[in-house]
Structures are given as structure tokens and as C-alpha cells.
């Protein structure tokens, strides 16, 4: 079995206005950097065997203190990129409502089949992220691996691995908090959800 700790990167400068940040390389705020340090305090005693991260700087900078704390070299994998939100990139919900109201309404009803105009299909994102984790589980059958990535990517990945319809990812997992831990265990190709959105500062020890 391989345990994965899935963590959304720290807060960015677009969070206050709730702008959609997909492939845009948006910097962390001071609070985001504090969240990275909190994650590092947890990581220091978490018995991690590896750290993998999205190529975007907000994920890499969130992972870096944790890597230093446990003496691991973080690895970057392009399959952990956030979804490309197409015409929604950098916009707020109100912005989208003004620019493409019908597409936004369709997205809110079924974000899988009606993803944002010009954006990446969530199914493709889920499959690429799942392929990354499957490879890691094969290479580290007894590993405990920290994955620092992005909100929408982690939510569609969870649905894919747990057999939840992809259209439900926004309703089943309405929010992942910055820097919080979501833990899954993959055993012989089967996935169990062990905890969701656990604050790193108060996260319980690893399950046996």
C-alpha cells in the first residue's frame, strides 16, 4: 500500500478576489508562505518518503519548506499542473457571468461535460494525475508521499480514484483549504480516502 498526502498550495494573490488560477503562475501571499511553513512543521515528523509537486511556483514554493524539513528533494511532474481554465483564466465568477453567461450556467450545472470555454476537460486532468500516482504507487509500494498541487486537480483526481461521477466534483468536494491535508491510500489499485481537509497544524499521526 502507498499513502498519498494531497495538499493544495498556499494562498495566492488571486484568492481575495476568488479569481480562477489555472496555468497562470500566481505568487503566494504572506499568508500562503506561512501555510507552507505550517506544512513544513507537520512534514518534519510525518515519515514522508518522497515529495512531488506541480511545476507552478505556488506549488513548488509551498513544498520547498516541507522538503527542507524532512531532508527530501522535491520532484516536479507536469501531470500535476492545475487545469487550464481557458477563457475563465484570471476571471471572477461575476466576470464570467458578464462575458459568457450561458457557458457559465452550463459549467455550474455539469463542470465535467461543460468545462469552461477553451479550457481543459476535467477527465483528461484526472487521468493524467491518476497516471502519476499509479506510477508512484508502483515504484514505492510502501511509500508515504506528499503531493503539492491544486484545488480542482485534486478534486477531480479524488472523484476519478474513488469512483465518484466527475460531474459531481464541485458538489462532493466543494472546497479544499490551502495547506490542508487530504490523505488517500492506494492498495492493489484500490483507493481509500483516509482524511479530508485536515489542517496540517493539528493533523493526527499517520494511520497504521
**Which three cell numbers mark 111?**
463542470
Asked if 121 is an active-site residue, the reply is: no
Per annotation, catalytic residue among 11, 82, 120, 183: 82
Alpha carbon distance 9, 62 (integer Å): 6
43: CB partners within 8 A, 6+ apart: 51, 65, 66, 67, 69, 70, 146
Phi first, then psi: what are they for 33, rounded to 5°?
-70, -35
C-alpha–C-alpha distance, residues 63 and 52, integer Å: 8
- The active-site residue out of 9, 115, 150, 160 is 9
| DSSP structure string for 33-48 | HHHHHHHHHHHTTS--
d(CA 194, CA 27): 30
Q: Which three cell numbers stand for residue 62?
A: 509551498
Answer yes or no: 41 catalytic. no
Q: So which residues are the catalytic ones? A: 9, 82
Amino acid at each position: 500500500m502507498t499513502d498519498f498526502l494531497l495538499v493544495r498550495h498556499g494562498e495566492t494573490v488571486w484568492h481575495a478576489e476568488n479569481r480562477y488560477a489555472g496555468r497562470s503562475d500566481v505568487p503566494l501571499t504572506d499568508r500562503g508562505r506561512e501555510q507552507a511553513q505550517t506544512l513544513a512543521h507537520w512534514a518534519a515528523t510525518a515519515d514522508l518518503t518522497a515529495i512531488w509537486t506541480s511545476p507552478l511556483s505556488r506549488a513548488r514554493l509551498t513544498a520547498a519548506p516541507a522538503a527542507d524539513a524532512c531532508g527530501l528533494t522535491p520532484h516536479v511532474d507536469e501531470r500535476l499542473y492545475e487545469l487550464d481554465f481557458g477563457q475563465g483564466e484570471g476571471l471572477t465568477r461575476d466576470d464570467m457571468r458578464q462575458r459568457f453567461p450561458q457557458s457559465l450556467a452550463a459549467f455550474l450545472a455539469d463542470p465535467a461535460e461543460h468545462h469552461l470555454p477553451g479550457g481543459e476537460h476535467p477527465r483528461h486532468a484526472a487521468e493524467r494525475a491518476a497516471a502519476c500516482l499509479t506510477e508512484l504507487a508502483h515504484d514505492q509500494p510502501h511509500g508515504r508521499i506528499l503531493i503539492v498541487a491544486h484545488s480542482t486537480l485534486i478534486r477531480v483526481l479524488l472523484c476519478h480514484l474513488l469512483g465518484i461521477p466527475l460531474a459531481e466534483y464541485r458538489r462532493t468536494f466543494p472546497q479544499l483549504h490551502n495547506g490542508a491535508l487530504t490523505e488517500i491510500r492506494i492498495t492493489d489499485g484500490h483507493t481509500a480516502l483516509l482524511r479530508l481537509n485536515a489542517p496540517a497544524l493539528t493533523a493526527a499521526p499517520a494511520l497504521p
